[in-house]
Chain A
Amino acid sequence: MATLNDYLLVSGLLFAIGLAGVVIRRNIIVVFMCLELMLSAANLSLISFSRFNTINGLPDYNGQMLVFFVITVAAAEVAVGLAIIVALYRSRQTIHTDELTSLKG
């Protein structure tokens, strides 16, 4: 039977993969996907904490409730984020972050 540590390890790995993707990848859509991956990592750890923190033999549902909120917010974020990327592509003809440096100081 998998222990809490196993779940947390997977969650940490997912988060690390996501962070690495955000930092390394140059395609903004992939960066976006990696961001979602990091959110999912957070969700996974929330679920596992909820599952392993039993009160009177029942899991603590507060964590799972929070996950629903995160999923909702993430869905909204995807909608807005993708719209921004489309708009960005229309105006700049690129979604490569190396070419989007007009905020350089």
Chain B
Amino acid sequence: MTLAWILFYLPIAVAAVNQLVLRRNPLVPYLATAAAGACFVTSLLLLGTTETSGFSWATVGGLDIKIALKLDHLSTGMMVVVTGVGLLVHVFSLAYMKKDEAVNRYFCGLGLFMFSMTGIVLSENFIMMFIFWELVGLSSYLLISHWYHKDSAADAGKKAFLCNRLGDFSFMIGVLLLWGISGSLTFEGLKSWADGGGVAAASTGVLGAAILCIFGGAVGKSAQLPLHVWLPDAMEGPTPASALIHAATMVAAGVYMLFRLQLSIGAEAFAGFAGTTIAWIGGLTALLSALMASQQNDIKRILAYSTLSQLGYMIMAVGLLAGEAGMFHLYTHAWFKALLFLGAGSIIYACHHQQNIWKMGGLLRKMPITAASFAAGTAALIAVPYVTSGFWSKEEILTAAYNGNKFLFVIAVAVAFLTAFYMTRAFVVTFLGKPRSDDASHAHEVGPFMWIPLAVLAILAIVSGFGFVSEKLNATRPEHTANTTVLIASIATLVLGVGAGFVLYRGKESDPLSIPLFRDRFYFDGFYDNFLVRYFQDAFAAIIHFFDELLINGLLVGGLSRGAVSVGNLFRKLQGGQLQAYSFAFGLGVILVIYFTVF
């Protein structure tokens, strides 16, 4: 158990030492990377252990809130993903962020993030999870707005934080509702409550509302509709941080939390409208963001929308009562999406911070290692059958959708086609053809600190789906049941998608398709900015502003100060500096005193 506590405290301790003691010391990145490595080793050692230990954090009456670490199959497996991707991202960042002037702040942000993510994964109750849930939001904010002198980065950080807060508020309400029904905040307690027939006895409406409110937290953190708008903007942050936080781990926390809930109160609790809503939101997110991804030109944005779409898959799986499939996809997705993001990072690095895929091209010859690993990631994402990890996990989700809801199955298959299409587009435009800008023609392969993580992740993207690896890494893996319809559908969509991508984009100089609806992200951002913000937030702000101006500023603050000023001006007249005026007043005073005392 000591190991678990070391794993828990090591990242924050190192980040604190880095920030408070070492400050601008050039050792900071290496120390942080070493800590990440130690965390990875620790989580490997902890694999498969089952234990809980902790201490009371707040005790109010009968309510005892603990800071406790819960090790089990799910959390130790997830820790390997978090620390594994974390370690590779640290190594990659050593090279990627080398010339950044605030590299130490960046590594401290990563350390804070690792600490908070460990807290979420290992937490034993919902309150502790909520605390770290917020901390993750904070560290995400810090890393998105790392280049805070850029307005776009500062705004993106703010947007992410606000969207997350909206979800977190719902999460808090959901946890309290669930506590009201079950009287327990710990996962153990919820499990024994559910085993004792609590779920059956509880009102379906209230329980469903509680689950949906908790799901609201996942909507914020995992960027589902309608709070998905922050994730593409979050790409303003440094690319390795995007790989770690906005692709592999933090955004998957929502799925992890939902699955944790599903494990605790049982899948039956999700049956009914709660599960259906969750599944549909997941499915729609997957579909809409896949459509948006097909028209983006910024390589990081393509990957961001792809992440949204894959997260939609996972959420859909949880909603379809197949949380294992969702978790398994989370696990494989973490490797290949981190790979794609780091690949994008090395492309961006090589192309002098050019992110537009139409300004790239022909990178296959110039950057063979990056291209090969990016191809491996793409293959995993588009689920090339039998040889990639993505296939095994996506197949489970498609099977779950096939068994659960035929409409969602159709949507999921459409998403699979779109995934194949937009990833082929991204790959063809970026790596094939001729260089379309000076940046691309001067690109060359990145150094070993960057390609080694890529290579490791490329191997994992291929093999992590196979039983012998996923068992070793303790991943939650459902029993694979072959379903011919699903298999045919996924192979057909893959062939069609890749074919369409090649035919449309092979050797093109600019995008032959132009669909403004998709490119402009279904006008979600425009709708939020121009309608919601203007008519709700701004209207409310105007009312508040009116009262603020009139009552607080006009009467209280302004009135008091104006009163003091006018009284002061009155007395000021007395202090004329005229000697004779003083003596006259003095004489008058004496006369008055005599008058009042004598008469």
Contact = CB atoms under 8 A, between A and B. Distances in A.
A92 interface: no
B583 A101 contact: no
B575 interface: yes
B575 A105 contact: yes
Contact of A22 (B571, B572, B578, B580): B580
B205 interface: no
B587 A105 contact: no
A103 B587 contact: no
Contact of A97 (B574, B578, B587): B578
A94 to B, nearest CB: 13
Nearest to A22: B583
B201 interface: no
A105 B577 contact: yes
Interface in A79-102: 97-98, 100-102
Interface residues of A, number: 15
B58 to A, nearest CB: 57
Contact of B578 (A19, A28, A101): A101
B584 interface: yes
Nearest to B587: A19
Contacts of A2: none
A102 B577 CA distance: 6
A98 B575 contact: no
Contacts of B577: 100-105
B567 interface: no
Nearest to A98: B578
B594 to A, nearest CB: 12
A97 B575 contact: no
B580 A26 contact: yes
Interface in A19-35: 19, 22-24, 26, 28, 31
B576 interface: yes
A104 B571 CA distance: 12
A23 B576 contact: no
Nearest to A103: B577
A100 B580 CA distance: 11
A100 B587 CA distance: 20
A72 B215 CA distance: 96
7 contacts: A24-B580, A31-B579, A97-B579, A97-B580, A101-B578, A105-B572, A105-B577
Interface of A: 19, 22-24, 26, 28, 31, 97-98, 100-105
Given A97-B578, A98-B578, 13 more contacts: A22-B583, A22-B587, A23-B587, A24-B580, A31-B579, A97-B579, A100-B577, A102-B577, A103-B575, A103-B577, A105-B571, A105-B574, A105-B577
